Amino acid sequence: VKIEWDGETLTVTIPVSPRDPEPIVLTFRPHHKYRRLLDEWKAGRARMGEPTLTAHSLSIPLKFPDPIPYEPEGVIGIDSNEGNLTAFVTSTGEIREIDTGYVGKVNRDHLRREIKGTRGKHNPKAKKKIASKHRMIRREKTENFWHHLALALIAWALGMKAALVLEDLKGMKERIGKGKSRRMRQRLLNFWSIMTFHRILVHKARFYGVPVIWVDPQNTSRACPVCGRVVDRLRGHALACPCGVRMGRHEAAAVNIARRGVEFLEGSGLRGRGRWATPVAGPLASG
């Protein structure tokens, strides 16, 4: 398929094939908001993907290069749970908790509706249809929520030129499977939801040029943020260290995640403790 753009008319030429002895030439006059993008493409500032032609539409994917991430002047450590996110900002010492209970609620609601909707139905095809409908709504609602939350965090990071630091959950599933701590097992339940959020956040961060760092998730909520000791048992939701520090475990995790991000940036972290989730250019690239 050949695409030509002269600033007014988009010409799509479909070459000769066994079915079409003559090339098919289609012309389009795109809406002005698409014209600007086509101008950018023509000027060489975007790459074109494979166009998709249907009976009623033409879709052309255009890929614009992502901005180069800035050099971070601090980090925001993010402890991700299904019910909430806790963020710690190194430059101000601020701790912020964000309620994400909506996601769990949507998941539960739609599961309930799915069960109710398929009750008494014996036709497996009809059952499948109802189930897939609910899955789709559920997915759309939760992804939309994560999407907006990701944008808010990115705006926050951009405002203070901070890097976002997330726990690297890759490989986490296997580790939880081997019967690790309760927190680890609990996290498996929320694993997919949090993975979705991280995927959306990193994708958007790339788009806005916000650097993101993955760090080792080991013991983030059990290590004392002051003396570094790993505390075996948590008192309820609090970490109580023999050194006298008492802190909520989510807050402790956010502080520890942020610290690992800072260590990674300073190059003082243990080997393999961190890696870039977003591309970096220049002196940062060797990180």
Task: Name the site residues for Zn ion (rule: CB under 5 A).
Answer: 224, 226-227, 229, 241, 243, 245
- Nearer to Zn ion by Cβ, of 157 and 247: the residue is 247
- Nearer to Zn ion by Cβ, of 130 and 245: the residue is 245
Would you state the structure tokens that stand for residue 145, as one six-digit string?
């929520």
Give 13's Cβ-side CA count (13 Å radius). 8
Q: Which residues of 236-252 are buried (b: 16+ CB within 10 A; e: fewer)?
A: eeebebeeebebbbbbb
Closest to 235 (Cα-Cα) out of 224, 249, 225: 249
- Residue 242 CB, nearest distance to Zn ion (Å)? 7
- Nearer to Zn ion by Cβ, of 255 and 277: the residue is 255
Q: Is 51 helix (H, G, I), strand (E, B) or coil?
A: coil
Would you state the structure tokens that stand for residue 181, as one six-digit string?
């701590």
Closest to 75 (Cα-Cα) out of 250, 192, 205: 205
- 214 within 8 A of 277, measured Cβ to Cβ: yes
**Residue 274 dihedral angles phi and psi, to the nearest 5°:** -155, 160
- Residue 254 CB, nearest distance to Zn ion (Å)? 16
- Residue 263 CB, nearest distance to Zn ion (Å)? 18
- Nearer to Zn ion by Cβ, of 164 and 254: the residue is 254
- Residue 187 CB, nearest distance to Zn ion (Å)? 23
- Nearer to Zn ion by Cβ, of 87 and 239: the residue is 239
- Residue 262 CB, nearest distance to Zn ion (Å)? 18
- Residue 239 CB, nearest distance to Zn ion (Å)? 9
Measured distance CA(189)–CA(13) in Å, rounded: 50
DSSP 141: H
Q: CA–CA distance from 27 to each of 14, 39, 62, 89 (Å)?
A: 11, 16, 19, 53
Which residues on adjacent β-strands are paired with residue 89? 76
- Residue 147 CB, nearest distance to Zn ion (Å)? 38
- Nearer to Zn ion by Cβ, of 3 and 240: the residue is 240
- Nearer to Zn ion by Cβ, of 130 and 240: the residue is 240
- The owner of tokens 């166009």 is 51
